[in-house]
Structure 1
Amino acid sequence: MILAPTWPVTHRISSSPLIVLPPLAVYLVLALPRFPALWAVVSTTDLGLITAFFGRPDGAAILWAHVIAFDLFVGRWMYLDSRERRVHPLVMGPLLVLTILLSPVGLLVYLAIRVLSGRPAPGVPAGGRPPVASETR
């Protein structure tokens, strides 16, 4: 998505949401054996407990796999949306790197680009959603 954004194989691979399966598999392998402790952490507001869990190597690895999976999912959406909107790959490459490193910042910048470009995706009416097949008859 960053190095070969216009290559048809990149688009084919990125078009499937299954692209996030590898980091999700890592997440499950790490999280399932520790699920009771993980659940205790994510279902509390105790910052000390959260810090203690994610400060350990196993907790940090779980968190990292979680973050990578969601960064990849968000980056995938940004890539596909930018291709539809014809945002230049030289803009999107650095933005996708930013999204990998600081996903909330990258997503915010991309959302601003979407608003500022004022260009809806081709084939999408001004309302923002493509017509359903039954509506086009």
Structure 2
Amino acid sequence: MVYEKLFSLASIAMPFWFLLILLPTWRATRFLANIAIFPMYLAALYIVGIITAIAGSGFGFVQDFGSAEGVIRLLSKPDFALLVWLHLLCFDQMVGHYVYRDNMEHRYVPLPVQSILLFLILMFGPLGLLCYFVLRRIRKQSKLSL
């Protein structure tokens, strides 16, 4: 029940993705990104969830991280699966903030490309981050060769 409530509360951060993707230059978007309220909010929800998990069953679940079977066993538990989902949402949001803030400051990629990359981060996390790093590296190298 606690984890379902945390999951519901996490959805509040979703509209911020739309701001980052669709309205990157809007003053409210820049303000919210600069104070990083949504990654901190998701991190706080995750902390509540992980403390609840530890209080309920101790640190025993950590031993399951060492094998594929253990991870599958953990993820088969609905409460733990929701906690892991919250963990992913939080990290994706932090990565999205990083890419947004870094690109808005340095303009390694045009804003439409930034929006595509942020969508990739939202949907596929590491894929979007890797694409951003590759494009940023190409842009930096092209500036050096000029």
Tell me the TM-score normalised to structure 1 length.
0.77
Q: Calculate percent identity across the aligned residue pairs.
A: 28
What SS does structure 2 have at the residue aligned with 1:118?
helix
Bigger helix share: 2
Aligned-partner residue type, residue 22 of structure 2: L
Give the stretch that moved more between structures: 20-29 or 81-90: 20-29
Deviation of 1:94 (Å) = 1.4
8 Å CA contact retained: 1:42, 1:50:
no
Q: Do residues 80 (structure 1) and 101 (structure 2) align?
A: yes
- Provide the C-alpha distance between the structure 2 equivalents of 1:33 and 1:83, rounded to a whole number of angstroms: 37
Tell me if 1:41 matches 2:74: no
Output the TM-score relative to the length of structure 2: 0.73
Which has the greater radius of gyration? 1
Distance in 2 (CA, whole Å) between partners of 1:119 and 1:77 is 21
Q: What residue ranges of structure 1 are gaps of 5+ in the alignment?
A: 121-125, 127-137
Paired with 1:6 and 1:15, the residues of 2 have a C-alpha distance of 12
Deviation at 1:57, TM superposition (A): 1.2
- Superposition deviation, residue 38 in structure 1: 7.1
C-alpha root-mean-square deviation of aligned residues, in Å?
Answer: 2.2
Aligned equivalent of 1:9 = 28
